[in-house]
Amino acid sequence: MATKNVLDTVAKKFIQIGLPKDLFERNRFNLLVDRNKIIVRYPAPGVRSEVIETPTGVKTKVYVEPGTKLEEPVTLCFGAAETTEVQTTEGEIVVGEGADVKFQVYGAMAEGIKLKHKNKLKVRVEKNARFEFLDLHYNGEDTFVELDTETDAYIGENAYFRSVFKQTRGRAGKVRIVLKAQVDKKGVAVFETKMIGKKDDEIYVEDVIHLNGEESRGISKSRIIAVDETKATFVGETYGNAPRCRGHIDCSEVIRGKDVTVKAVPVVVVNDETAKVTHEAAIGSIDKKQLETLMARGLTEDEAVDVIVQGMLR
């Protein structure tokens, strides 16, 4: 593992793009990776893991022991402090029966760097377990990342999985996010994507939820703010395959600027007469009444837009 010096350099660069300072000051990381180097590794109780460095990144295997309940989130960071051609991360997470854990994962791409990041993740949430996966992305305003990430999740009986992808500062870059879930009896899958694209960013988000078990539930929610010449596409597919399953797709994308292109494609498929899948999709500029309300309190139009957008991305 790396020296304190290396950690300090990385900390400085990541704090600069908005990572909470506190994470470094109190050394909160259970795993911190810079490109393909493990900088910090500190196991969390009840969580067994294996991490190996590969020529372009890391491979991780995580097993949360059955019944493990953690108050504090398991905190991970996969970042790049310098430009590198590609960074590949591959992971497998199994959350054992009845466990209840939250992973807070920081993706940090330092100011001004360029890279391609490929990520593949397999998640298995066993019976009665709860797993929250918060994927928080921080990029600099002059960073350019090509991100390609795929998550495949299985949610067991009466289990809960929430995956949040958030990138609310800096540029999105060129992004392809694909999330897939197979949900068993009474299981719940919640996918949320909140991001902002600027300049010529390209965003593609695809959520696919298969509600295979009786009374399973799925929610797919996206909030994409597209500014300047951003191109963004959201595809939400929910399949209601089992009795009394419920699915909902909620996409509300905001455009700001004449040259943005935003597409939202909700697809609902139902194969059981007692299943119900609904969707709402709205693409539009910022709500005028919200804007005028804040302006009537003395905010300028730009300040008001910022407040509204940050609220939506929260």
Partner 1 sequence: MVPILTVNDVKLTIDGRPILKGVNLVVNEGEIHAVLGPNGAGKSTLASLIMGINDLKEPDSGEIIFQDKLVNGLDITERAKLGITLAWQEPARFEGITVEEYLKLSGRNNPELDVVECLELVGLDCSYLNRFVDDTLSGGERKRVELASVLAMRPKLAVLDEPDSGIDFASMEDIANMIKTMRDRGTTVLMITHREEIAEIADRATLMCDGKVVQTGNPKDVGQKFKTMCVKCEVRNPELVGGE
Residue 190 binds partner 1 (CB under 8 A)? no
Residue 290 binds partner 1 (CB under 8 A)? yes
Residue 306 binds partner 1 (CB under 8 A)? no
Residue 299 binds partner 1 (CB under 8 A)? yes
From 78-86, 154-162, 195-203, 304-312, give the range in contact with partner 1 by CB under 8 A: 304-312
Residue 128 φ/ψ region, left for φ over 0, alpha for ψ in the -120 to 50 degree band, beta for the rest? left
Per-residue exposure over 18-50, b if at least 16 CB sit within 10 Å of its own CB, e if not: bbeeebbeeebbbbbbbbbebbbeeebebbebe
Task: Say how many C-beta atoms besides its own lie within 10 A of residue 125's C-beta.
Answer: 31
Which residues, 6+ apart, have CB-to-CB distance to 126 below 8 Å? Answer: 66, 94, 95, 96, 97, 98, 99, 156, 159
d(CA 35, CA 21): 20
CB of 260 to partner 1, least distance (A): 20
Q: Which of 110, 181, 255, 308 binds partner 1 (CB under 8 A)?
A: 308
d(CA 154, CA 149): 17
Q: Which of 8, 53, 141, 292 binds partner 1 (CB under 8 A)?
A: 292
CB of 293 to partner 1, least distance (A): 5
Residue 313 binds partner 1 (CB under 8 A)? yes
Q: Which of 6, 70, 86, 307 binds partner 1 (CB under 8 A)?
A: 307
H/E segment holding residue 306: helix 301-312
Tokens of 144: 């350019």
Residue 296 binds partner 1 (CB under 8 A)? yes
Nearer to partner 1, 181 or 254 (CB): 254
Nearest partner of 71 among 95, 97, 45, judged by Cα: 45
User: Residues 249 to 288: which contact partner 1 by CB under 8 A?
Assistant: 287
Task: Say how many C-beta atoms besides its own lie within 10 A of residue 170's C-beta.
Answer: 20
Nearer to partner 1, 271 or 300 (CB): 300
- Tell me, what amino acid is at 188? V
CB of 294 to partner 1, least distance (A): 7
From 56-64, 136-144, 170-178, 305-313, give the range in contact with partner 1 by CB under 8 A: 305-313
Nearer to partner 1, 26 or 297 (CB): 297
Note the Cα 193 to chain centre separation in Å: 6
Count of residues interacting with partner 1 (CB under 8 A): 20
Q: Which of 55, 214, 294, 305 binds partner 1 (CB under 8 A)?
A: 294
| Residues of the shown chain interacting with partner 1 in the complex, contacts defined by CB under 8 A | 287, 289-290, 292-301, 307-308, 310-314
